[in-house]
Every structure is written in C-alpha cells, then in structure tokens.
Amino acid sequence: MENLLAFTVVGRLDCRCPAHYVARDFEAGIRRPKTGVEALMGNREEPDGLEKRRRDLEAALAARRPKEPSNAGGAKTGGVSGYGNALRLSSEFIAGILVGAGLGWFIDEMAGTSPWGLIIFLLLGFGAGVLNVLRSAGLVAEFGAKLSKGGDDPQGK
Amino acid sequence: MANDPIHQFQIAKWIPIEIGGLDFSFTNSSAFMVATVVAAGAFLYLTTSSRGLVPSRLQSVSEMSYEFIASMLRDAAGNHGMRFFPFIFTLFMFVLVANLLGLFPYFFTVTSHIIVTFALALLVIGTVVVYGFYKHGLGFLKLFVPSGVPVVIAPLVVAIEVVSFLSRPISLSVRLFANMLAGHIALKVFAGFVTSMTALGIAGAAGAVLPLALTVAITALELLMAFLQAYVFVVLSCMYINDAIHPSH
C-alpha cells in the first residue's frame, strides 16, 4: 500500500519534472503553456537556455557513461563475492612477480649476468604485478587503451 | 589413505605406455579428461538432438549455455570475436564439466593440476599471439606501447607491459588450479574431522556435527566455485582475444 502510494507520487513527479526542475521564478514568468510545442515556439529566453544547457549536460554525461559500465564490468569479472575478487587480485600480483623472477633468472642463465637480470626483472615484475592488480580492479585503462581517441569506440570495446 | 587430503590428487597410471623413452601412460587424469569430453559432448548432442521448437528442460539448458557464452563473447570482443566462439565454448564446457565431475566423491579433478590449467591458458595466449600477428603483423606490438607515454619512460613502460602480458597465462592458470585445489583440500580436511572426532566417543560424535555441517556448506560453495571459475577463465580469455582483435584502441 505504502509502496503503491510512493510509486504514484514518484510517477507524478516524473511526468511533470521538466517544468518543476526549472527555477520557480522563471516558471512563474511564463504564462502556463498549453502544450510543450507551444512553449518552445513562444518564449525561448531564459528557461529555454537553461533547458538547453541541461540537455547538453545530459548528452555529455551520456557520452561519458558507456565507459563507466565497461570498466565496472571489467572489475566485476572476478566474481560476485569478495572472496573471488581477493583470490583474483592476489593471483594477478603473484603472477607478475613470478614471471619477472623467472624471466630474470632465465636471462641470467643465458647471458651469465648473474645477479643483475634477476634484480632488474624482479623489480619489473613487481611493477607488472601492481599494474595487473590495478588493471583488474578497473583503476587503470586496459592494454593499449590509454588516452584513446573517441572515434575508436565503435570498434567493439 | 583415509586422512590424507592430498591423496585425491595423485596420478595413477592405469595403462602404462612408453614411446621413445617418453611417458604416454593413460592415467586417471587422462581417463577423467576423456570422461569430461564425453560427458559434455554427449550432453550437448543428446539434449539438442530432438530440436524441439519448444525446448525441453535439458534442451533449454544447452541453449542457455550457448546463449550465455555467445552474448558474453560478443560483449567482450565484438562481432569479430564470434569466429572464436567454438574455441571459447569448448573451453567453457570442458572446464565447467571437469570442475563439476570433480565434485563427485572418489572422482579425480582434472583442473586441480596446474599442468592442465596451464596448458589451457597457453592455448588461449597462443591463440591471442598467433592471431594477433596474423591479423595485424607487427602492429600487434602496439599493444605494449600505450599511446601518449613520454619517450623518456617508454622503455620502462614497455618492459612492464611485456612482463604483465607474459604473466597472464600464469595468473589465468594459477587462479583456476588454486581454487580447485584449495576447495577440495578444505572439503577433505573437514570431512576427515568428522571421522576422527567420531572415533573419540560420544562427546566427539556430538562435536562432529559442526564439521559435518561445514562440509555440507563447503560442498555448496564448491558448486558455486566450479561454475564461477569456469566463467572467469572464459571471460578473461575473451578479454585477451579482444586484445588480439583490436590491439590499439
């Protein structure tokens, strides 16, 4: 019952909001228009300017929005539970370090530069591990996606 | 055997085969891989053989799994990615069925061995690398050079990106393997508590209710994990394949 009431109130607010979201004074200044079209035709001064700005903002936000869900999707792939997420992040980090250490050790074995390859690649592996974690948490752009131009979006991502 | 939680992961040679000094034995692991393939294949084949316009329950299960993977792949890699659908779907079904089969008592869990999961991950990364070079040539290497990085620190960034890329098969395989291994060990340890506590007498038997309840709960969790890990494995594979298709965004 209460829900229903709330819903109808929200619904009413919703359908009248374009008028109500404009500052009150402006609205008072306009004669109550019969239709929305007439309002557009009639006086397009202040309220219209505000309306236009609001629409522009809406469009700008909408243009920005697709990036957020795709990012969130990337972070969500770890699993529904925090447990899955924790395992995922830790495995990313450990994998980075392991690969760095393995690569350094291999290079040392090949080139005989005994401690240096291991040291340098272990540090690089640490960097890669941090990058992996940030990336899978959705805090850093994906591979090669940094500072992408806007026109590349239709390509699929 | 009774209380050793690791015993379930031991490889047993069922049919020893040796060719040229290499061990090609048919082990319990191979047997369960065959069982996985047969079970997945038979399920999909039999449930879709009637091709009812109004699907039966089982038919709708296989149709749902198809739709599920197809929409996920399309989301992750776009329409170009759909050429990898057979690969991704096979991978998903294999991992999922192997995980689920492993939940049966006395069954062997194929995915709890890192060599198996690592081979699967190498297959994915190999596909990404080969297809990336085939499709884009050397342009594929742009994957490692984020645009807009100053020249001074570019070598460092490239080195880190390369190591990060190489760590992908490791993290992909370790995640699946570690989840399966840890889950099965936990299950076995808690189930072992039940028997060893019951052996202590009445008080022990009363206390054994706790680990028994936990075992039931962990079994449910493992069921979730079996699905979740197969899903995660395939989602990440899709993302990597997306990199192969569009290396520079």
Q: What distance in Å separates residue B201's CA from the closest CA in chain A?
A: 36
* Closest-CA residue of chain A to B160: A128
Q: What is the pLDDT of residue A49?
A: 79
Please report whether residue B1 resides in a domain. Answer: no
Q: How far, in Å, CA of B212 to CA of A36, rounded? A: 68
Q: What is the pLDDT of residue A20?
A: 46
Helix axes B154-198, B209-245, angle to 10 degrees: 160
Among B214, B173, B218, B177, which residue's Cα sits nearest to residue B194?
Answer: B214
Q: How far, in Å, CA of B19 to CA of B23, rounded? A: 7
Q: What is the pLDDT of residue A80?
A: 47
Among A54, A60, A42, which residue's Cα sits nearest to residue A18?
Answer: A54
* Closest-CA residue of chain A to B141: A144
Select from A80, A87, A100 the Cβ nearest to the Cβ of B179.
A87
**Helical H runs in A43-113?**
46-64, 67-76, 82-111
Chain A contact for B74 (CB, 8 A cutoff): no
* Residue contact B167–A80, C-beta within 8 A: no
Please report whether residue B198 resides in a domain. Answer: yes
Residue A7 pLDDT exceeds 90: no
**Mean pLDDT confidence for B83-109:** 92
Question: Which region among A22-36, A109-123, B86-100, B171-185 has the lowest average model confidence (pLDDT)?
Answer: A22-36
Q: What is the pLDDT of residue A37?
A: 52
Specify the pTM: 0.71
Q: Which residues contact B15 (CB under 8 A, 6 or more apart)?
A: B25, B26
Please answer whether residues B184 and B102 qualify as being in contact, where contact means their C-beta atoms are separated by less than 8 angstroms: yes
Interface of A with B in 40-99 (CB under 8 A): 73-74, 77-80, 84, 87-88, 91-92, 94-96, 98-99
**Mean pLDDT confidence for A40-52:** 63
Chain B hits for A98, Cβ within 8 Å: 167, 170
Please report whether residue B223 resides in a domain. Answer: yes
Please report whether residue B138 resides in a domain. Answer: yes
Identify which has the larger pLDDT, A116 or B146: A116
A11-25: per-residue pLDDT in tens? 444 444 444 444 445
Q: What is the pLDDT of residue A143?
A: 60
* Residue contact A125–B243, C-beta within 8 A: no
CA B152 to chain CA mean position, Å: 40
Residue B132 pLDDT exceeds 80: yes
Among B243, B231, B138, which residue's Cα sits nearest to residue A156?
Answer: B243
Question: Which region among A62-76, A116-130, B8-22 has the lowest average model confidence (pLDDT)?
Answer: A62-76
Task: Assign B23 to helix, strand or coil.
Answer: strand
Query: Dihedral of CA A84/A86/A89/A94: which sign?
Result: negative
* Residue contact A144–B147, C-beta within 8 A: yes
Q: What is the pLDDT of residue A77?
A: 46
Interface of B with A in 10-69 (CB under 8 A): none
**Mean pLDDT confidence for B240-244:** 86
Please report whether residue B161 resides in a domain. Answer: yes
Residue B126 pLDDT exceeds 90: yes
Select from A80, A98, A157 the Cβ nearest to the Cβ of B246.
A157
Q: How far, in Å, CA of A44 to CA of A140, rounded? A: 44
Provide the domain count of chain B: 1
Please report whether residue B203 resides in a domain. Answer: yes
Q: How far, in Å, CA of A97 to CA of A126, rounded? A: 5
- Beta-bridge partner residues of B22: B19
Q: How far, in Å, CA of B103 to CA of B188, rounded? A: 11
Residue B38 domain boundaries: 7-245
A67-112: per-residue pLDDT in tens? 544 444 444 444 445 666 777 788 889 889 999 999 999 999 888 8
Interface of A with B in 115-154 (CB under 8 A): 121, 124-125, 127-129, 131-132, 135, 141-148, 152
Among B243, B197, B229, which residue's Cα sits nearest to residue B76?
Answer: B243
What is the ipTM for the molecules in this complex?
0.70
Strands (E), chain B: 13-15, 18-19, 22-23, 26-27
Burial class (CB in 10 A: 0-12, 13-18, 19+), B135: middle
Q: What is the mean pLDDT of chain B?
A: 87
Q: What is the pLDDT of residue B21?
A: 80
B194-215: per-residue pLDDT in tens? 888 888 888 888 888 888 999 9
Chain A hits for B166, Cβ within 8 Å: 99, 103
Q: What distance in Å separates residue A47's CA from the closest CA in chain B?
A: 41
Phi, psi (deg, nearest 5) at residue B149: -95, 135
B11-70: per-residue pLDDT in tens? 888 888 888 888 888 888 999 999 999 999 999 999 888 877 788 888 888 999 999 999
CA B235 to chain CA mean position, Å: 11
* Residue contact A157–B78, C-beta within 8 A: yes
Select from B175, B178, B246 the Cβ nearest to the Cβ of A156.
B246
Please answer whether residues B235 and A84 qualify as being in contact, where contact means their C-beta atoms are separated by less than 8 angstroms: no
Helix, strand counts (H, E) of chain B: 7, 4
Q: How far, in Å, CA of B24 to CA of B12, rounded? A: 13
Alpha carbons within 13 A on the beta-carbon side of B217 = 7
Identify which has the larger pLDDT, B243 or A104: A104
